[in-house]
Structure 1
Amino acid sequence: MKYTPINNKLFTKNRKKFASQMKPNSLAIFNSNDIYPISADSTLPFQQHRDIFYLSGVDQEESILVIFPDCPKEKYREILFLKETNAHIAVWEGEKLTKEKAFETSGIKTVYWLQDMEKILFEIMTQCDTVYINTNEHYRANVEVETREDRFTKWLKEKYPAHAVAKSNPVLQRLRSVKETIEIELIQNACNITEKGFKRVLNFVKPGVMEYEIEAEFMHEFLRNRSKGFAYTPIIASGNNANVLHYIENNQQCKTGDLILMDVGAEYANYASDMTRTIPVSGRFSERQKTVYNAVLRVKKEATKMLVPGTMWEDYHIEVGKLMTSELISLGLLDKADVQNENPDWPAYKKYFMHGTSHHMGLDTHDYGILTEPMAANMVFTVEPGIYIPDEGFGIRLEDDMVIQENGAPVNLMKNIPIEIDEIESLMHS
């Protein structure tokens, strides 16, 4: 891994929090992700399942974590099963975790090779009543492939049909949404890397550059700062491309007078950052672009103030909609009749601002969190209002990552990334 070692106290504490929410005499099982094939002998780069990483810090394939707090044998209360490493694997793929290194990484003392899993699992399954399976229940999930976790769950339920089944995901949704101090530091590191990439790009952009060249500048800076790269597929959208919300082709030339909407973020140690900035190709905003830009920025600043404990996500978006409606009227994009005659299920402002303002962020860019429960301290949310005007050939979105505080305003993890017009123009001409 490119990142520096993480203190295993984080993973030990995460397991204790999860175990405290388990039913009496129950165990929970978590699997690594597969390495996904492309064709022939090619594969996608491995990405660890965020849940097993959250609970163990193990960042390699073919790993299984078992948590059994009430197990009669103390050594079986936490178990890691790993792919056995050997000299051949070390030569061809690089070293895998040894049992000693797995303990250093996770804080788990009991580590076995994967071939011992079925035998040991049989022993402990005879001693528990309930088994927690790990399903993907994120509100944005749309999974068509059968995952390693899915296959294991199918096998487990066939092998042990008399056991009661519980779900890990509702527990993890709550736990993962509230970050530990170490996690916030890791996210801050990802944001700092993103900052370096953005400042590099400000000195690079000029009329005639290609969107993919800007993407390459970000990647260069990310890799040289211990990131694997982008936390999600980057959007480098110049001109009217910015009005396609998930534009990822990044293959057009940036032209004089256009704006570039860049929605990018570095990952660090599997933790995400999520930034959007909109900058002028020529280094100067036009007066109309400035007016719209500052409208988006005002909405962002006011929306940020609402990210406090107790705020309900749905109510928050209603209030942000009111702010945006006012700005759009001032810009001449809406009038009072548009608002009076609007469809309550699709308010008038949605013509120019059609997506949500905030989402949880952490190990996943759209991280775990239960949207029907109030915001709480140490949750990390994005704030990302935008105005999209196809008829004028540009769209503007601005986005930072915020940590909700117990008292007072949220902390902006991207406070050092330029966002004011004067600062952006000055840096592009420095």
Structure 2
Amino acid sequence: MKYDPINPDFFVNNRKRFMRKMQPESLAIFYSNDLMPRSGDTFFPFRQNSGLFYLSGLDQEETVVVLFPDCIKEGFQEVAFVKRTSDYIAIWEGEKYSKEKAREVSGIQKVYWLDEMAPILHELILLAKRIYINTEEHDRFIPELPTRNMRLARDVMERYPAHKYHRAQPILKKLMMNKQEAEVELIQQAIGITGKAFKRVLEFVRPGVMEYEIEAEITHEFIRNRASGHAYDPIIASGANSCVLHYTHNNQECKSGEVLLMDFGAEYGHYASDLTRTIPVSGQFSKRQRSVYDAVLQIMREAQQLLVPGTTLEEYSKEVVKMMESSLIDLKLLSRKEIEQQNPELPLYKQYFMHGTSHHLGMDVHDLADRYVPIQEGMVFTCEPGIYIRDEKLGVRIENDILVTENGPLDLMAGIPVEAEEIEELMSVMISE
């Protein structure tokens, strides 16, 4: 792992919070993610299951964590199983967790090798009446392939059909939506790295550079600052590509007179950042580009002030739509009469603003959360309005990450340049050189 060690007290506390919400006489099983085959005998880079990491900090494949808060067998309230290491593995793959290291990282005192798990887990399950399983849940994504958690949960359910089964995800959602101080610090660390990458890009971009060259500059800054990499596939979209919401080809030349929309964020210590900036390739916005940019920036400024405790995301979205419609009228993209006469089921603003304004941010860029729970202190949201005018090959999106506090929204990206004048000034210095 590239990131600095995380205090194990964080994971100890998370397990205590999770176990307090479990029903009596129940255990919970959390499996690590798969090592996903890539091609031949190679794998995609491993990324730990967010739930297992949140509860243990164990960042290694072939890991299992079992929680059994009222287990009558002394010392088995928390158990971890890790892949048995050896000199052979150390030579070919490098250091893996020893039992001592797994205890140090997680704070879990009962640590066994994974090949010792079967009889131990069997006994624990027979002592329990209920089992929590950690099947992945996202209300906007249905996976086609079963994950390791899903496959092994099915195996447990077949072996022990008389037990009662519960979902771990609703508990994790309640816990993970509201960020603790340690989590905010990790997100802020990821944001700091992202900000460095953006400033590097401002020094690099000029007509003639390729989108993939810009991606390379960002990746360079991420890795040299101990990020594990990108929190999601980066969007480096120039010209007409700026109007493609999830453009990731990143293979076109950036041309004079175009805008460049960049949506990227570093991941540090398993926590994501999510930044979007739109800049002029030539270093100066045209009059039209500047008017659209200023409109989007104003919406972002006003929208983030609405991210306060008690507001629902539905109420918030309705207010942002009003701002967007007003801006689209000012930009002469829509008329007030058209809006008044529009079909409510097919609102006209969606021709130019097709996506939501905010989503939860945390261990995942689209973090585990309940979108129907009112906004609460400790939640972290993106705020990312955009206007996309395909006929003009002009797309502008601006995005910052916002922490909800009792004293109002706190912009965690306030230190990253966003004003048009500052961006133009920073770019002009480098382009002139």
Q: TM-score range by the shorter chain?
A: over 0.9
How far does residue 116 in structure 1 lie from its aligned partner after superposition? 1.5
Alignment-derived partner of residue 266 in structure 2: 266
Cα distance in 2, alignment partners of residues 137 and 221 from structure 1? 33
Residues 1:52 and 2:52 aligned together: yes
Aligned runs of 1:166-177 on 2, under 5 Å?
Answer: 166-177=166-177
Query: Which portions of structure 1, spanning 4 or more consecutive aligned residues, are displaced by more than 3 angstroms?
Result: none
Alignment-derived partner of residue 87 in structure 2: 87
How far does residue 346 in structure 1 lie from its aligned partner after superposition? 3.1
How far does residue 343 in structure 1 lie from its aligned partner after superposition? 2.4
Alignment-derived partner of residue 235 in structure 2: 235
Residues 1:127 and 2:127 aligned together: yes
Alignment-derived partner of residue 275 in structure 1: 275
Q: Which amino acid aligns with 1:249?
A: H
Cα distance in 1, alignment partners of residues 74 and 104 from structure 2? 19
Cα distance in 2, alignment partners of residues 195 and 247 from structure 1? 21
Cα distance in 1, alignment partners of residues 105 and 94 from structure 2? 17
How far does residue 30 in structure 1 lie from its aligned partner after superposition? 0.3
Where 2:408 maps in the other structure, the secondary structure is coil
Where 1:237 maps in the other structure, the secondary structure is strand
Q: 1:29 to 1:372 in 2, by over 3 A?
A: same
Residues 1:315 and 2:322 aligned together: no
- Cα deviation, 1:1-39, whole Å, max 9, x if unaligned, reads 000100011111111111011001100000000101122
- Cα deviation, 1:55-114, whole Å, max 9, x if unaligned, reads 000000000000000101231100001101111111100111111111110010000011
How far does residue 138 in structure 1 lie from its aligned partner after superposition? 1.2
Cα distance in 1, alignment partners of residues 149 and 334 from structure 2? 49
Alignment-derived partner of residue 379 in structure 2: 379
How far does residue 413 in structure 1 lie from its aligned partner after superposition? 1.2
**Which 5+ residue runs of structure 2 have no aligned equivalent?**
none
- Cα deviation, 1:203-231, whole Å, max 9, x if unaligned, reads 00000000000000000000000012111
Cα distance in 2, alignment partners of residues 35 and 427 from structure 1? 43
Q: Does the Cα contact within 8 Å between 1:174 and 1:368 map onto a contact in 2?
A: no
Alignment-derived partner of residue 422 in structure 1: 421
Alignment-derived partner of residue 23 in structure 2: 23
Alignment-derived partner of residue 11 in structure 1: 11
Cα distance in 2, alignment partners of residues 286 and 220 from structure 1? 30
- Cα deviation, 1:138-184, whole Å, max 9, x if unaligned, reads 12223111211111101100111100000001111111111110010
Cα distance in 1, alignment partners of residues 280 and 250 from structure 2? 16
Cα distance in 1, alignment partners of residues 74 and 183 from structure 2? 29
Where 1:410 maps in the other structure, the secondary structure is strand
Cα distance in 2, alignment partners of residues 411 and 161 from structure 1? 48
Cα distance in 1, alignment partners of residues 377 and 298 from structure 2? 24
Where 1:429 maps in the other structure, the secondary structure is helix
Aligned runs of 1:6-405 on 2, under 5 Å?
Answer: 6-405=6-405
Q: Which amino acid aligns with 2:157?
A: K
Cα distance in 2, alignment partners of residues 131 and 169 from structure 1? 13
- The percent of aligned pairs where both chains have the same amino acid is 55
In the superposition, the TM-score normalised over structure 2's length comes to: 0.98
Q: Which amino acid aligns with 1:106?
A: S
**Corresponding pairs, count:** 429
Where 2:75 maps in the other structure, the secondary structure is helix
Q: Which amino acid aligns with 2:391?
A: D
Q: Does the Cα contact within 8 Å between 1:308 and 1:376 map onto a contact in 2?
A: yes
* RMSD of aligned residue pairs (Cα, Å): 0.8
Q: Does the Cα contact within 8 Å between 2:210 and 2:251 map onto a contact in 1?
A: yes
Aligned runs of 1:401-412 on 2, under 5 Å?
Answer: 401-406=401-406, 408-412=407-411
- Cα deviation, 1:315-363, whole Å, max 9, x if unaligned, reads 1101100110001001100101221122223322111001000000000
Where 2:60 maps in the other structure, the secondary structure is coil
Cα distance in 1, alignment partners of residues 343 and 182 from structure 2? 45
Q: Does the Cα contact within 8 Å between 2:30 and 2:65 map onto a contact in 1?
A: yes
Q: Does the Cα contact within 8 Å between 2:136 and 2:150 map onto a contact in 1?
A: no
Cα distance in 1, alignment partners of residues 346 and 63 from structure 2? 45
Cα distance in 1, alignment partners of residues 168 and 361 from structure 2? 19
How far does residue 420 in structure 1 lie from its aligned partner after superposition? 0.1
Cα distance in 2, alignment partners of residues 125 and 159 from structure 1? 10
Cα distance in 1, alignment partners of residues 68 and 13 from structure 2? 15
Cα distance in 2, alignment partners of residues 151 and 390 from structure 1? 44
Where 1:404 maps in the other structure, the secondary structure is strand
Cα distance in 2, alignment partners of residues 409 and 71 from structure 1? 43
How far does residue 409 in structure 1 lie from its aligned partner after superposition? 2.2
Cα distance in 2, alignment partners of residues 24 and 185 from structure 1? 34
In the superposition, the TM-score normalised over structure 1's length comes to: 0.99
Where 1:76 maps in the other structure, the secondary structure is coil
Q: Which amino acid aligns with 2:181?
A: T
Q: Does the Cα contact within 8 Å between 1:130 and 1:166 map onto a contact in 2?
A: yes
